[in-house]
Amino acid sequence: MTDQAPAPYAGPERVLSGVQPTGDLHLGNYLGALVKFARLQHEIPTFIFVADMHAITVWQEPAKLKQQVREIAAAYLATGLDPKVATIFAQSAVPEHAELAWVFNCVARLGWLDRMTQFKDKAGKHKERESVGLYTYPVLQAADILVYKATKVPVGDDQKQHLELTRDIAQKFNNDFSAPGYFPLPEPLTQGPGARVMSLRDGTAKMSKSDPSDNSRINLTDDADAISQKVRKARTDPDPLPETMEGLEGRAEAKNLVTIYAALAGQSEAQVLAEFAGQGFGAFKPKLADLAVSVMGPIGGEMRRLLADPAEIDRILADGASRARELAAPTVAEVKKLVGYWAG
């Protein structure tokens, strides 16, 4: 008898993603993730949450956490997510994430987690001092995705390894519990420029919330003056822009600014170079600053307007959580049966 390939997942497509409420959102979060959420909601049922359970894997001030969650929710709304179309909620309001994560903690192998580069980067040399939660962080992420049987996950490049782990967990669960095709093997959506936005001060480092230099990033809440100043101060080199992307090899900062321009303008990098080849940064930066202000400027204002009415944000999050639970609860009930829990 020949081995038959296991049955593939045959359920509907769903989009899921989330952002941690751990600091100001920046251009990297916007181009790598948020901008895609707003686009996808009109194509596939979309679930977007605020990852407050992930946030506490490192210390968060309890008195501030709820407000940080509202700020991310405001950013979702200000960048075009429509709560009537997409399901928007806080992770901690759907306890099924934690219930499924426990089962997945028993499916995932230590060796898989030992390979996670984000943990290594965050923990540095003193991993024994980090929380156990930080180590099992990607297992909770797998539960976030699979509790909705999501098939597409719009994220930046830095999340690809966590998505590979999610697929490994899904596949092992399906095998171990003789449930072929039960969980889908979700795909990261990282296409297009903007999947890896680099620091404005160092083209070899990722733009990040935790970079001590505020000039390294454009925050979603920056006003027009701050945005233009940061673009003007961005590190570059004295050479003119080349005709092709190959000509930007070894010029990390220059390449990053071209990529940012392309992502903000909805163009390819080749189109940007076709327009600006031969020009220096003295000419390119003001154009980039104008573009960044026109796209990013209104977002900060809209966030401030939304945050003036926290009760409305809370209402949207509560409504989203109850819709999310309608989908998550049956998954956890089925998983309990498959695992053989007494309380199944």
Q: Report which secondary-structure segment, H or E, holds 267.
A: none
Structure tokens at 90: 């806080």
Give the amino acid at 245: M
Using the rule CB under 6 A, is 90 a contact of ligand TYM?
no
CB of residue 153 vs ligand TYM: minimum separation in angstroms?
5
CB of residue 15 vs ligand TYM: minimum separation in angstroms?
10
- HSE, side-chain direction, 13 A CA sphere, residue 260: 33
CB of residue 29 vs ligand TYM: minimum separation in angstroms?
4
In angstroms, rounded to a whole number, what is the distance separating the alpha carbons of residues 159 and 186? Answer: 13
Using the rule CB under 6 A, is 184 a contact of ligand TYM?
no
Residue 156 or 300: the one with the smaller Cβ distance to ligand TYM is 156
Residues 184/11, Cβ–Cβ less than 8 Å: yes
- Angle, nearest 10°, between helix axes 281-307 and 310-339? 90
CB of residue 55 vs ligand TYM: minimum separation in angstroms?
8
SS3 for 153? strand
Using the rule CB under 6 A, is 145 a contact of ligand TYM?
yes
What is the arrangement of strands in the sheet containing 187-189, beginning at the earlier edge strand? 87-90, 46-50, 15-19, 152-154, 187-189
Using the rule CB under 6 A, is 328 a contact of ligand TYM?
no
Residues 198/216, Cβ–Cβ less than 8 Å: no
In angstroms, rounded to a whole number, what is the distance separating the alpha carbons of residues 25 and 209? Answer: 7
Q: Report which secondary-structure segment, H or E, holds 154.
A: strand 152-154
- For residues 236 to 275, the per-residue mask of contacts with ligand TYM, x marking binding by CB under 6 A and - elsewhere, is ----------------------------------------
* Dihedral sign for Cα atoms in the order 48, 156, 182, 45: positive
Using the rule CB under 6 A, is 33 a contact of ligand TYM?
yes
Of 14, 20, 135, 173, the residue at the interface with ligand TYM (CB under 6 A) is: 20
Please name which of 44, 50, 63 lies closest in space to residue 22, comparing C-alpha atoms: 50
Using the rule CB under 6 A, is 32 a contact of ligand TYM?
yes
Segment near ligand TYM (CB under 6 A), from 102-110, 138-146, 270-278, 309-317?
138-146
Using the rule CB under 6 A, is 96 a contact of ligand TYM?
no
Residues 44-83 interacting with ligand TYM (rule: CB under 6 A): 51, 54
CB of residue 33 vs ligand TYM: minimum separation in angstroms?
4
Segment near ligand TYM (CB under 6 A), from 5-13, 23-31, 293-301, 335-343?
23-31
Using the rule CB under 6 A, is 155 a contact of ligand TYM?
yes
Relative to beta strand 87-90, strand 46-50 is: parallel
SS3 for 179? coil
Segment near ligand TYM (CB under 6 A), from 14-22, 262-270, 298-306, 326-334?
14-22
CB of residue 76 vs ligand TYM: minimum separation in angstroms?
11
Q: What is the DSSP string of 12-79?
A: ---EEEEE--SS--BHHHIIIIIHHHHHHTTTS-EEEEE-HHHHTTS---HHHHHHHHHHHHHHHHHT
Q: Which residues are catalytic?
A: 122, 206, 209
Segment near ligand TYM (CB under 6 A), from 25-33, 39-47, 175-183, 288-296?
25-33
Q: Which residues bind ligand TYM (CB under 6 A)?
A: 16-20, 28-29, 31-33, 51, 54, 141, 144-145, 153, 155-156, 158-159, 195-197, 206-207
